[in-house]
Amino acid sequence: MSYQVLARKYRPRSFAEMVGQEHVLKALINGLDNDRLHHAYLFTGTRGVGKTTVARVLARCLNCEGGITSRPCGVCGACQEIEQGRFVDLIEVDAASRTRVEDTRELLDNVQYAPTRARFKIYLVDEVHMLSTHSFNALLKTLEEPPPHVKFLFATTDPQKVPVTILSRCLQFNLKRLPTELIAGHLEQVLQQEGIDSETRALQRLARAADGSMRDALSLTDQAIAFGAGAVREDEVRTMLGSIEEDSVYRFLEALAEEDAQALMAAVDAVAQRSPDFSELLAGLLTTLHELSLLQLVPDAMDAAHPERERLEGLARRLSPEDVQLYYQIALHGRRDLPLAPVPRMGFEMTLLRMLAFRPAEEPGKGGASEAGDRVRSGAPVVAAAVSSEPARAGGEDSVASSRVAGLRAAVEATPRARTEPPPQTSDSDPVPAPPAAPTEPGGADRQPGVASGLGPADQTPAEAVPPWEELIERMKLGAMTRAVAMHCRWCGMEGDTVRLQLEAAHRHLLNGSMESRIRQALGRVLGRDIRLQVDCVDGEPVADSPAAQADQRRAERQREAEQAIDGDPHVHALRELFDAEVVPDSIQPAD
């Protein structure tokens, strides 16, 4: 007797033998037991999840010689012939090869005739979405009011292509992708029945490679048995599935975690000797980074049976969540730009080197990846060998952000340059002198410039001598977003070391803790003292005397003056008289 592949040998013959899909089986079993039968059923889902198998089991349930039941006997003539695919009253149609309307009409010509020997004449149409529009139209009337002895069973992997007129006439059941643990457990049972030695990690790898499809898992198991000479071992399965490339991905990430450029290039050289598809290698890197992010942020969503979970957990402890997100974005753009590289390997290497070069430096005194949520990174990303202990400044205080957004944007869209600039100096005309260098107090650490304990009374600006708020904003040298928030605030006064501001409620969502801290630090630097900042959000009308509101008023006034000047210009008046010209209001802009 010839060998029968596992996917066919272990195809379920009853609902009790099926693995998973309980939500579908429960509805079908209840309908059969209570004699509540529909004339058309549609089973949807990805490949290998059991659509056609459920349809065939349902056909056996409907035509079992023992009566309509959810537990067919399996020994009567009807059950045996359906299992062997030769039952005369079960007409199986592959819609992919019979798309013409003539084929459908020929099929429906026999609907009116009673079944030859069974209780129901059953039409099982696989991949029904492949039928043409005319074929669906020819099917509509029969599908809506079929003879009582006819049942339609449809299966499709793409229900979106099935017309809604067909969908509305069917009971629709969506079969889910099977979990990895469920597939691995079933494979273990199958191999036990076959008497084949196997390793749990090998079955987990096969289950993951099947990607939710039980049929794919059984086919891969057949291949693994042949590859392993009658046994399913992890090493053979890794080689068979090409998991060597997956191991290379982990070596890349481990080298990045250690910031070891030599090890990184050695790993690239080792994988390049096998002439890999570098685009697929980047796809594997993206997959692993996604798994790392899940493990770090949503551990419960991570597959508990992941064969490399221990290795992932080690990387998750060594890489911060921000680094993982940065690497993912760089790899995503690197894969997109890979065809533009002169040589694919060159583009791949530059993607990895970009990850190494653009990993932001940690602030001195802060912990590693385990404290990633509390770390404050310097602004623009810098090469690890050139990291300065002084925070990088690139465009103002907004560059020093607690997140990696600035670094990510620079890494992907621009060529970043680590820059260190001195604190902004005030001009000679400013009434507030530049703060002196911070002295070192005995027994304490060096203090940053502008801290109150490092300044004498003569270096501090009295509350009554504070310049106007708009002038202070100019001196604070804030970044674009922080400056916009400050411009929408109203100065409410300064009592002692406390500065009170009011912010329009419409801009409340822009203010966060880090932004408020930047405003406080910049204002303290300008005033030469350590201050406390209190920002109140006011509802109702906009703050009329905020710098932003005043700037809007000035712009509106200048616009009115410009429009009046155009309206009173004699040349414009002459053009109107001679050529019936019109002035487009939106085209008038004040002169700078």
Instruction: Give yes or no for residue 561 having a pLDDT over 80.
Output: yes
Q: Report if residue 1 sits inside a domain.
A: no
Domain boundary among 197, 215, 240: 240
Q: What is the rounded average pLDDT of the residues 200-204?
A: 88
Q: What is the rounded average pLDDT of the residues 330-337?
A: 94
Q: Report if residue 454 sits inside a domain.
A: no
Nearest in space to 180 (alpha carbons), one of 3, 68, 301: 301
Instruction: Tell me: do 283 and 161 sit in the same domain.
Output: no
Domain of residue 213, CATH code: 1.10.8.60
Domain of residue 331, CATH code: 1.20.272.10
Instruction: Give yes or no for residue 67 having a pLDDT over 80.
Output: yes
Domain boundary among 129, 149, 174: 174
Helix then strand count (H, E) for the chain reads: 23, 8
Q: What is the rounded average pLDDT of the residues 320-346?
A: 93
Q: Mean pLDDT across the chain, nearest whole number?
A: 79
Q: Which residue has the higher pLDDT, 410 or 472?
A: 472
Give pLDDT, residue 540. 62
Per-residue tokens: 208: 């993951």
Instruction: Tell me: do 300 and 156 sit in the same domain.
Output: no
- Kindly give the residue spans of alpha helices, DSSP state H, lying in 199-242: 200-210, 214-227, 234-240
Q: How confident is the model at residue 110 (pLDDT cuts 50, 70, 90)?
A: confident
Instruction: Give yes or no for residue 366 having a pLDDT over 50.
Output: no
Instruction: Give yes or no for residue 428 having a pLDDT over 70.
Output: no
Instruction: Tell me: do 169 and 50 sit in the same domain.
Output: yes
Instruction: Give yes or no for residue 109 having a pLDDT over 80.
Output: yes
pLDDT (tens digit, 9 = 90+) per residue, 125-165?
A: 999 999 888 888 888 888 888 899 999 999 999 999 999 99
Give pLDDT, residue 240. 83
Give kind and range of the element (H or E) at residue 561: helix 547-568
Q: How large is the greatest C-alpha to C-alpha distance in the chain, in angstroms?
A: 109
Q: Which residue has the higher pLDDT, 415 or 289?
A: 289
Helix, strand, coil shares of the chain, percent, nearest 5, are: 55, 10, 40
Domain of residue 77, CATH code: 3.40.50.300
Count of structural domains, the chain:
5
Instruction: Tell me: do 214 and 157 sit in the same domain.
Output: no
Q: Report if residue 443 sits inside a domain.
A: no
Q: Show the domain range for 135.
A: 6-174
Instruction: Tell me: do 199 and 222 sit in the same domain.
Output: yes
Instruction: Tell me: do 526 and 573 sit in the same domain.
Output: no
Instruction: Tell me: do 194 and 290 sit in the same domain.
Output: no
Q: Report if residue 447 sits inside a domain.
A: no
Q: Report if residue 582 sits inside a domain.
A: yes
Instruction: Give yes or no for residue 219 having a pLDDT over 90.
Output: yes
Give pLDDT, residue 571. 86
Instruction: Tell me: do 119 and 167 sit in the same domain.
Output: yes
Nearest in space to 319 (alpha carbons), one of 300, 291, 347: 291
pLDDT (tens digit, 9 = 90+) per residue, 486-500?
A: 888 888 888 888 898
Instruction: Give yes or no for residue 429 having a pLDDT over 80.
Output: no
Q: What is the rounded average pLDDT of the residues 218-224?
A: 92
Give pLDDT, residue 243. 54
Domain of residue 525, CATH code: 3.30.300.150
pLDDT (tens digit, 9 = 90+) per residue, 373-406?
A: 333 333 333 333 333 333 333 344 343 333 443 4
pLDDT (tens digit, 9 = 90+) per residue, 180-190?
A: 889 999 999 99
Instruction: Give yes or no for residue 434 having a pLDDT over 90.
Output: no
Domain boundary among 211, 240, 269: 240
Distances (CA, A) of 554 to 155, 519, 557, 590: 68, 25, 5, 11
Instruction: Give yes or no for residue 449 having a pLDDT over 50.
Output: no
Instruction: Tell me: do 56 and 111 sit in the same domain.
Output: yes
Which amino acid does the sequence have at 44?
Answer: T
Give pLDDT, residue 397. 38
Instruction: Tell me: do 74 and 51 sit in the same domain.
Output: yes
Instruction: Tell me: do 399 and 339 sit in the same domain.
Output: yes
Distances (CA, A) of 44 to 49, 129, 177, 284: 9, 10, 11, 29
Task: Give dist(CA 536, CA 540) in Å, integer.
Answer: 13
Instruction: Tell me: do 500 and 512 sit in the same domain.
Output: yes
Q: Report if residue 510 sits inside a domain.
A: yes
Q: Report if residue 233 sits inside a domain.
A: yes
Q: Report if residue 430 sits inside a domain.
A: no
Give pLDDT, residue 245. 63
Contact assessment for residue 54 and residue 24, using Cβ atoms and an 8 Å cutoff: yes
Instruction: Give yes or no for residue 436 having a pLDDT over 60.
Output: no
pLDDT (tens digit, 9 = 90+) per residue, 576-586?
A: 888 888 888 77
In percent, the amount of the chain with pLDDT more than 70 equals 80
pLDDT (tens digit, 9 = 90+) per residue, 252-276?
A: 999 999 989 999 999 999 888 888 8
- Look at the pTM and tell me if it is higher than 0.75: no
Residue 562: strand, helix, or coil: helix
